[in-house]
Structure 1
């Protein structure tokens, strides 16, 4: 008989980007990247393009304090989903349950994300704007209980009408008390008179909401940006989320909102601009960029340049204070990424004044604008500046460290395979970053030596939409590649 794995009691990974500020910093030292301990599909019907690319975003698993990995699994080509709970040590199935979630209108398939609250409750989006709550993610038995932000009685009176018109279109974020925040999109009339907006469900299950047009005081703002996870200020008093004017490239511009996290009253709203061209930036529904909060309250949010290719399709990482006043300079990459917020002590060679730095994907796409495919990872100083290497007239966040992707792109003697993470895991204990690449390998980037000191092959590699990396309660590392979740152990 195979003995059961040892009991674990460690730090949870709560949500996309780990926490309500989306810092993606692990609270435990990660294990060595030595072997693939187990794998499981996150998509039972992956849809590849004719060229073999996989333009599907996959939601972030979450991990309980007892090391149960809770995994969102796409079960059909068009996007039905179930949730699986698996033992983190060996991947054994503990439980699974279907959901009734329906994806909102989209181009690339959006991610289906889960949430663990600090109180241990598991939430999964459902149809019609419902949240599905399971009290214990570790237990082999249990059921999902629906919570409806506009009232269960209204939903139950005409569920078909709501299921057809109301869609949760962002990940869900929780504060320390277990209050929940998410964006939703409304595509038609419904009995509750809902319009696209931001919802709050209190820990006791009662709900409130505000429309994005009303929050922005702008009737042209029509919905939260698809896949934009709300972020909370460090004291939990303010919730940040982006909203745009539509789904086409011509209307994908909009605002970043700061709302009172108790009342959802607007505290600030700022137009998101292309800092190079001085015109509204694109807030692409094909991306997964979310607001990220620094220890000083600064808010970072990635946008795409207004005219595709004028910044080599890298976009910009905009920087604001807590009331959304522009501060500092932008980062030189913002497209489809949420930076990790790392203590400056993770980089022993750093001699600047900032107490924290940003770990960022830094692709430079071959054939787009002046891009030559020298795809990198970067550590940036949000408090210092340098001339941008692509648009030298622009001042951008100073590069503290950069490292080039190690694998040549197919058919090239210089270009490197892309980094395919939208949020990478940071390990302060080992002063390293965990990131997977389109070459099919997961790497440890050691910030002391600025080298890749460990790697493990996941598969042969492919072009794919960007995916999250995370850390389990026992320090195991998880990465998604080619519609599969890989559990990496020492």
Structure 2
């Protein structure tokens, strides 16, 4: 990739506008901060028992569909930093992919925290009512090198065990995410003995490079990279640790017989099929300067990690390999009908205004279906079709997606939107001369962009939470506000200011068991409710 293209991607993903000035209280923390590896004075909220938010996108299918009604945006109940040393670009952008908070059924909020510019991390638990610290754990995780700061996530399994990545491919965990007196333990998928015998070398050689995903049976999955000739003999690929603690792994290049499939795509969370028998893994080649990454979507047997099927990720307009970029956090979504969706960048950067495409497959990846008109750094959310009274089609569910149209990355006009699209109905694409998923509703960003005449500041979300009870979507914007998009009226019916706004990498929204809404803006997690 040329320097010009690299700069263009930074602009496209960092936002085409919005102020880069942060307000003085953006990194405030009403709950207080206790150094990692300690126990706080707070306690879990045992009065609340409700649906947990287990992972990026809420569950192992990444639906981002709430099972509880959200509270109104009355106030910021509490806030806590997710980055103690934010690193801003020369343009004032914050090019860091922050991990999603996860929330237990007892309303304990667990968030990953970047603690230094050198990419060290801890993960901490806070009381969902007050933000008070319950416990905190320092990690030895070593972040993979990349020009954007990759994401660091935590995950809760159905048995309430919380997982996070450690150095050398270790998985760190606490048995009970709500227990303030719990202890930190670890698992090594290639064996504790191998790791202990070569700790220093393996800490440098093996890196978990995707979020950890837990299935309904408490097995976990993740991607990892391995340097050549490491002491454990590992080759970059996919790992599994069973509920019984036994680990296994496969090399993506070896099982596919394709050396171009060198690793799981950095930042892309593995998805699990609804019957728990298949995992979906996005793969790509290693990031190299002046080259564009390409890749495949793999369906692996969830027990053996054997390859069941694969499909190359192809630009539907240019008919060549799409860009599967390590700058993105796009992850597979498994729909209610078992169809699979994954976002990519277009083959030639800017040919689709840097929007990319949302690719669409059946469950065994044998059939390529209608693409969506935006895929870049976005995981779509499930919207039951009955939430939209104006919808007259036949699909049982629709998709909520980011729908930006970048003025500085191609011929876009800066009309940055979010959208509800129909995965089974096609219409003329507005940019490229092909058919794409039909728009059902769209919502233009509400804040004019002073840097783009006629343009609007873009939405800042890589997975948005859908609330079927209030028939709304909770979505963050680079203008510094959190919005409620009412799907019955197609209006923004609530907003609350979080910060003064800035261009930043895309962020997740989440919903707690008490209906509080969580959003990240300018390196701070905000809990919003009554």
Which TM-score bucket, shorter chain as reference?
over 0.9
Partner of 1:305 in structure 2? 346
Partner of 1:352 in structure 2? 393
2: CA distance, partners of 1:6 / 1:120: 14
Deviation of 1:192 after TM superposition, in Å, equals: 1.5
Partner of 2:216 in structure 1? 176
Change (3 A) 1:81 1:3: closer
| SS of match in other structure, 2:474 | strand
2:131 to 91, 96, 99: 91
Pair 1:421 & 2:491 matched = no
2: CA distance, partners of 1:105 / 1:50: 20
Change (3 A) 1:68 1:305: same
1: CA distance, partners of 2:74 / 2:415: 27
Partner of 2:328 in structure 1? 287
2: CA distance, partners of 1:480 / 1:242: 25
Partner of 2:96 in structure 1? 56
Deviation of 1:141 after TM superposition, in Å, equals: 1.2
Contact 1:377 1:419 in 2 (8 A): yes
2:513 to 473, 480, 483: 473
TM-superposition CA deviations, 1:8-62 (whole Å, max 9, x none): 1111000000001000001100000121111110000000011110000100110
- Count of paired positions: 488
1: CA distance, partners of 2:243 / 2:455: 50
2:416 to 362, 375, 381: 375
Deviation of 1:5 after TM superposition, in Å, equals: 6.7
Pair 1:263 & 2:294 matched = no
2: CA distance, partners of 1:78 / 1:86: 24
2: CA distance, partners of 1:4 / 1:163: 33
Deviation of 1:250 after TM superposition, in Å, equals: 2.2
Partner of 1:238 in structure 2? 278
Deviation of 1:347 after TM superposition, in Å, equals: 1.1
1: CA distance, partners of 2:497 / 2:453: 22
1:463 to 503, 506, 528: 503
Pair 1:222 & 2:262 matched = yes
Partner of 1:388 in structure 2? 429
Spell out the pairing of 1:4-153 with structure 2 (5 A cutoff): 7-153=47-193
Partner of 1:192 in structure 2? 232
| SS of match in other structure, 1:325 | coil
TM-superposition CA deviations, 1:374-396 (whole Å, max 9, x none): 000100000001000011x2100
Pair 1:335 & 2:370 matched = no
Q: Cα RMSD over matched residues?
A: 1.4
2: CA distance, partners of 1:411 / 1:259: 46
2: CA distance, partners of 1:303 / 1:34: 37
Partner of 2:404 in structure 1? 363
1: CA distance, partners of 2:102 / 2:442: 29
Pair 1:205 & 2:228 matched = no
Contact 1:128 1:165 in 2 (8 A): yes
Change (3 A) 1:3 1:124: closer
Contact 1:433 1:445 in 2 (8 A): yes
| SS of match in other structure, 2:508 | strand
Higher relative contact order (CA 8 A, sep 6+): 2
| SS of match in other structure, 1:396 | strand
Deviation of 1:413 after TM superposition, in Å, equals: 4.2
TM-superposition CA deviations, 1:182-217 (whole Å, max 9, x none): 000112321210010000000011001000102322
Moved more, 65-74 or 361-370: 361-370
Partner of 2:20 in structure 1? none
1: CA distance, partners of 2:412 / 2:453: 15
| SS of match in other structure, 1:162 | helix
1: CA distance, partners of 2:104 / 2:493: 28
In structure 1, stretches of 5+ residues that fail to align are none
Shift >6 Å, 4+ stretches: 2-6
In structure 2, stretches of 5+ residues that fail to align are 1-41
Deviation of 1:327 after TM superposition, in Å, equals: 3.2
1: CA distance, partners of 2:145 / 2:114: 16
2:438 to 379, 388, 398: 398
2: CA distance, partners of 1:383 / 1:445: 23
Pair 1:489 & 2:525 matched = no
TM-superposition CA deviations, 1:426-446 (whole Å, max 9, x none): 001111000000000000000
| SS of match in other structure, 1:214 | helix
1: CA distance, partners of 2:416 / 2:457: 7
2: CA distance, partners of 1:212 / 1:251: 19
| SS of match in other structure, 2:469 | helix
Q: TM (normalized to structure 1)?
A: 0.98
1: CA distance, partners of 2:44 / 2:195: 43
2: CA distance, partners of 1:218 / 1:180: 25
1:276 to 312, 317, 327: 317
Q: TM (normalized to structure 2)?
A: 0.91
Contact 2:44 2:107 in 1 (8 A): no
TM-superposition CA deviations, 1:304-333 (whole Å, max 9, x none): 001110000000000001111233210000
Change (3 A) 1:322 1:3: closer
Contact 2:44 2:178 in 1 (8 A): no
